[in-house]
Structure 1
Amino acid sequence: MVLQRYQMHHILLQPNRKDNMNYFLRKLNFLPLFILFISCNITYAAEMNYFAEGMKQLQLENYEEAEPLLLKAYKKEPGNPNITYALGILYNAMENFSESLRFFKETVKINPNLLEVRYYLAQVLLMTGDYDGALEQFEEADKVKHLSIITYYKGMIYNQKGDYKRAIELIKSAGEEDKNLQPLVQYQLGVINYNNGNLKEAKAYFRSLISLNPKSDEAEFARQYITAIEQIESMKNWKMTFGYSYQYDDNVVLKPTDTSAAESITNKSDWVSNLNFGFDYSKSFMKNGNIGLGYSFSQSLHALFTNYDIQSHSINILPAYNFGNFNTTLMYSYGYTYLDRSGYLRSNTVSPIFSYISGSQMAQVSLKWQDKDYIKPSAGDENRAGANYDAGAAYFLFLKEGKGYINVKYNYDRDYTNGNNWKYNGHKGAVSILLPVSNRINFSLSGDGYRQIYDNTHSTYSIKRDDTIYNANTLISINLVKNLKGDITYTYTRAFSNTAVYDYSKNAVSVGLNYVW
């Protein structure tokens, strides 16, 4: 539960926007400062036919027509900085950055004193991720002529390098020097504070930008950020859940943990009361970190088979950290289970989870180790104490602004037990869909198949056990009043086994209430 809250928090941190640095760099046209370059003390004679015609097409933004003309001019005069510079501008406009870098570097090499060219070279280096190279060129350009936009770019570079304090100082300085840069400055200061978790400061900068230039592209991006911030602010650091359901089960099966195989099958029906309670607390730390703490309690009480009553307690710790679109978490959980009011099972679980989120999609890879310590283990080959190892991959497609999803996942697990009868390799595939039918009603459908191939010949049944278990589940959830939901659930299970005692089917229907505070 803590993990799901953190991942949704991370999705909210990514509004639908085109706010990458390259986008804003490309908005700053090269051509206005072209006159600066032409006015420098250049004594080269350009090839007028090809060069003049190529420049005409370049100024008209007919790039495909300009390219062959300027290349022909370059072939005749490779040492002419006017031509190499024009080609650098052309290829930057065409977003062919490798060629743009080539010709800007050639221009600087031909005449190192043309330091204005370094300004443009630095922009392309910045767009291609060469931050140290870009910073060097901006420093050289600043020696010739100080421009506020250079100070701004240097701030952006320090931001990319992780020196946020220096970045903020430089970007603020650029805005103070040139008021025309204020919209861009306010936007970038908002983004930097947002990415560092300073949501209050970020919102103030975004609002300032909107007031300065409400119809700009940057203002539209700022509105998307403000929407995301307000959604995050509406989330509490803590959450409590209460749930109760009444269930009819036509075949009571003892299966105390999700990973365990069925231990005992009654082939008889019963009514079951299920109670659960949970408390989650989350707190941000560092720049993009979050730590979640949780406790959960669940209990199942049977009307007839009271010796199958189960009560479980678990404590969870979940540190997590964002790296842009990447999210990594490390879950630790301690669990204690009672069976028939007596201590039954202790477990420790560690699970690192790695997620990549892009827009409405998320890919996930997970590992898990679980130590199972039975309080009163069976003797010999029936001893189930041991460790379970699990590796999985999952894909999520979020629907309707994250209110619904489609999920596909696969897990492989290996159970090493002290007793030979319970060692197995497992393969599990699952699909689940959550669809918001209306503002009040959600519908979910899920199914999974689990193949368990046991290692050894069973000491009692003289056969290598091989099970395939299928589950299908449907849920209708109705928002009754604020924070209170009513659930109707149906679950069907079919277990195929070459060992007759473990071959079974069951149906379960439950009606319940869930309250979130």
Structure 2
Amino acid sequence: MRRLLLSFLFLASLSLLQACASTHENNKQRSAELKMEIGVSHLQRNNLPLALKELLGALELDPKNPYVQNNLGIVYFLREKYDLSVKYFTEAVNLSPAFTEAKNNLARVYIEQKQYSKATRLLDEVLADLTYTNAHSAYFNYALLYFNQNKFNQAKIYLSKILNENREDCYTQVYYARSLMETNFTKLAAEQLDKATQFCVREQVDDAHFYGAIAYYRIGNKQKALARFEELVKIFPEGKHRAKASEMIQLIQKEKK
């Protein structure tokens, strides 16, 4: 989720600059831009209720602004209101058919909804836009699309495209390693996840620790698995995998007796 949020926040800031570029907006449009700026600021601090309030105010003032629509799609995605997210991303694309980032974002929601054919068509359009500067995000979305359909070798192809240029991306490393696990390269996955932990800790993401521990457990190295689970619980007291890690700690300790 954090990877998605960071990607969207880059866009939200960029969108604001683009929306403010014209010197001919009327007062309503300028007021809408100000509300959008405030909403984006709240979004950057992960204060979604206040972000939503400001963006809805901006929408009321300027309903034809595709960037407001897009940023609303982001907030609703993060609130897991996927139908509303689709609505606003779709409207952003309708208002600005060349808005490639909105297409990429819409594809991400379709992946979450398991509407893979719709997502594929959009991602093909995204990658066909040679001016699009956030291609890595589209590669990740394509990888996620294949991963969620258990097409792990295809997922690895797109994840490799990202890793060739940026080996410090937490989620890319994690999904690449998980794809290795699912294709019976579990030892290699464990080694990959060992490297990924440092990148994921920086982003406060516990996935590398959790799946690394699972990988070690599967190959029979319960001591390393236990160490990883215990480290996860210590470093990420509110991590999404904390409860499951605690269960695994108890299980391994019982097995060792």
TM-score by length of 1: 0.37
Q: Percent same amino acid among aligned pairs?
A: 17
Equivalent residue, structure 2, for 1:112: 97
**Structure 1 CA distance for aligned equivalents of residues 17 and 108 of structure 2:** 21
**Structure 1 CA distance for aligned equivalents of residues 115 and 123 of structure 2:** 12
Change (3 A) 1:185 1:73: closer
**Structure 2 CA distance for aligned equivalents of residues 124 and 173 of structure 1:** 22
Equivalent residue, structure 2, for 1:401: 251
Equivalent residue, structure 1, for 2:12: 34
8 Å Cα contact 2:168/2:199 also seen in 1: no
Deviations 1:72-97 (A, max 9, x none): 43234332223212322332333322
> Which structure 2 residue ranges, 5 or more long, are not aligned?
224-242
| 1:102 Cα deviation from its structure 2 partner | 0.9
**Structure 2 CA distance for aligned equivalents of residues 48 and 30 of structure 1:** 22
| 1:136 Cα deviation from its structure 2 partner | 2.3
Question: Aligned match of 1:202 in 180, 183, 189?
Answer: 189
Please tell me whether residue 224 in structure 1 is matched to residue 242 in structure 2.
Answer: no
Deviations 1:261-302 (A, max 9, x none): xxxxxxxxxxxxxxxxxxxxxxxxxxxxxxxxxxxxxxxxxx
CA-based RMSD: 3.6
Equivalent residue, structure 2, for 1:123: 108
**Structure 2 CA distance for aligned equivalents of residues 39 and 51 of structure 1:** 10
8 Å Cα contact 2:16/2:36 also seen in 1: no
Please identify which structure carries the higher strand content. Answer: 1
Equivalent residue, structure 1, for 2:38: 56
Equivalent residue, structure 2, for 1:11: none
Equivalent residue, structure 2, for 1:153: 141
Question: Aligned match of 1:184 in 159, 171, 178?
Answer: 171
Equivalent residue, structure 2, for 1:363: none
**Structure 1 CA distance for aligned equivalents of residues 32 and 99 of structure 2:** 23
Please tell me whether residue 139 in structure 1 is matched to residue 128 in structure 2.
Answer: no
TM-score by length of 2: 0.69
| 1:30 Cα deviation from its structure 2 partner | 1.0
**Structure 1 CA distance for aligned equivalents of residues 201 and 74 of structure 2:** 29
| 1:59 Cα deviation from its structure 2 partner | 1.0
| 1:117 Cα deviation from its structure 2 partner | 1.7
Residue-pair matches, total: 224
**Structure 2 CA distance for aligned equivalents of residues 195 and 110 of structure 1:** 41
8 Å Cα contact 2:140/2:158 also seen in 1: yes
Equivalent residue, structure 2, for 1:86: 71
Change (3 A) 1:165 1:108: same
Deviations 1:393-412 (A, max 9, x none): xxxx99941777xxxxxxxx
| 1:228 Cα deviation from its structure 2 partner | 1.6
Equivalent residue, structure 1, for 2:29: 47
| 1:200 Cα deviation from its structure 2 partner | 2.4
> Which structure 1 residue ranges, 5 or more long, are not aligned?
1-22, 235-357, 361-396, 405-435, 440-517
8 Å Cα contact 1:155/1:167 also seen in 2: yes
Equivalent residue, structure 1, for 2:233: none
Letter of the 1:165 counterpart? N
**Structure 2 CA distance for aligned equivalents of residues 79 and 27 of structure 1:** 24
Change (3 A) 1:398 1:79: closer
Change (3 A) 1:107 1:213: closer
Equivalent residue, structure 1, for 2:239: none
**Structure 1 CA distance for aligned equivalents of residues 191 and 65 of structure 2:** 50
8 Å Cα contact 1:207/1:222 also seen in 2: no
Deviations 1:25-67 (A, max 9, x none): 5453411122443455887945333551353144134432343
Change (3 A) 1:164 1:398: closer
Equivalent residue, structure 2, for 1:172: 160
| 1:134 Cα deviation from its structure 2 partner | 2.4
| 1:208 Cα deviation from its structure 2 partner | 3.4
Please tell me whether residue 213 in structure 1 is matched to residue 195 in structure 2.
Answer: no
**Structure 2 CA distance for aligned equivalents of residues 58 and 76 of structure 1:** 16
Deviations 1:137-193 (A, max 9, x none): 222222221522322321221222232222212211221033443x43332221112
**Structure 1 CA distance for aligned equivalents of residues 2 and 111 of structure 2:** 12
